């Protein structure tokens, strides 16, 4: 005899598809759903369908939006473009409340090992945006890993001949962390990029 009846087993199975959710957590989530009111469960199910149905990529920057052109592209300073790997990186940037320009989501980084070439990510779209004029600076905010660095260097090599200023997010010791726990590469980078006080 199966431990779970079918509808519960199926729901648990669905929850395990979420990142970092194992059998035990999925089971807790499923029991929570069963204890919800009928309306709350319906609302939950609908929010999943709506998120999938209404959300698509902004035709300018490639970030998620429920409009044709996202609010950021429609309302902010178009002369500075911040290039990121994924939509969730836009979120991370926005939470800092520091950047006032617009974004360009590459949807990946160049990775020959995984067969991802410059043609597989949204570099062509970035060049098209820039060819329309008005862009003064492009900030490369791809991750500080091998692929992210390579992608930043590659795009930089395409843009510099066009007279565009290309910058990269600073690397260093994270604010609020302890030097003791910083890895050696971060420390050596922070040392190289040290600033005069």
Q: Is 32 in the site for its own copies (CB under 8 A)?
A: yes
Closest CA to 166 of 195, 134, 141, 193: 141
Q: Is 123 in the site for its own copies (CB under 8 A)?
A: no
CA angle 72, 73, 79 (to 5 degrees): 110
Tokens of 19: 């990142």
Distance in Å, CB of 171 to its own copies, minimum: 23
Enumerate residues 6+ apart whose C-beta is below 8 A from 14.
26
Distance in Å, CB of 79 to its own copies, minimum: 18
Candidates 10, 59, 136, 165; binder of its own copies (CB under 8 A) is: 10
CB atoms < 10 A from the CB of 15, how many?
A: 19
Candidates 68, 69, 79, 88; binder of its own copies (CB under 8 A) is: 88
Tokens of 148: 């992210």
Candidates 22, 38, 103, 177; binder of its own copies (CB under 8 A) is: 38
Q: Determine whether 170 is exposed, middle or buried from the number of CB atoms within 10 Å of its CB (0-12, 13-18, 19+).
A: exposed
Candidates 48, 162, 185, 191; binder of its own copies (CB under 8 A) is: 48
Estimate the crossing angle of helix 23-34 against helix 6-15, to 10 degrees.
120
d(CA 104, CA 124): 11
Q: Is 45 in the site for its own copies (CB under 8 A)?
A: yes
Q: Is 29 in the site for its own copies (CB under 8 A)?
A: yes
* Nearer CB in complex with its own copies: 90/155: 90
Candidates 16, 25, 78, 156; binder of its own copies (CB under 8 A) is: 25
Interface with its own copies by CB under 8 A: which residues?
1, 3-8, 10-11, 13-14, 17-20, 25, 27-34, 36, 38, 40-55, 64-66, 70-72, 75, 87-88, 91, 94-95
């Amino acid at each position: 005899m199966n431990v779970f009846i079918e509808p519960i087993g199926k729901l648990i199975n669905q929850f395990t598809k979420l990142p970092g959710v194992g059998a035990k957590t999925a089971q807790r989530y499923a029991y929570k759903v069963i204890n919800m009111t009928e309306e709350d469960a319906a609302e939950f199910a609908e929010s999943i369908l709506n998120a999938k149905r209404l959300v698509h990529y902004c035709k300018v920057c490639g970030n998620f939006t429920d409009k044709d052109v996202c609010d950021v592209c429609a309302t902010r300073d178009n002369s500075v473009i911040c290039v990121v790997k994924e939509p969730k990186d836009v979120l991370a940037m926005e939470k800092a409340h520091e950047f006032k320009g617009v974004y360009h989501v590459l949807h990946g980084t160049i990775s020959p090992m995984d067969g991802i070439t410059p043609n597989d990510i949204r570099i062509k779209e970035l060049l098209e945006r820039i060819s329309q004029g008005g862009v003064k600076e492009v900030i490369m905010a791809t991750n500080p890993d091998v692929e992210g660095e390579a992608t930043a260097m590659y795009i930089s090599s395409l843009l510099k001949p066009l007279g565009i200023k290309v910058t990269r997010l600073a690397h260093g010791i994270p604010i609020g962390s302890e030097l003791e726990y910083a890895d050696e590469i971060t420390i050596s980078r922070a040392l190289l990029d040290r600033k005069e006080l």
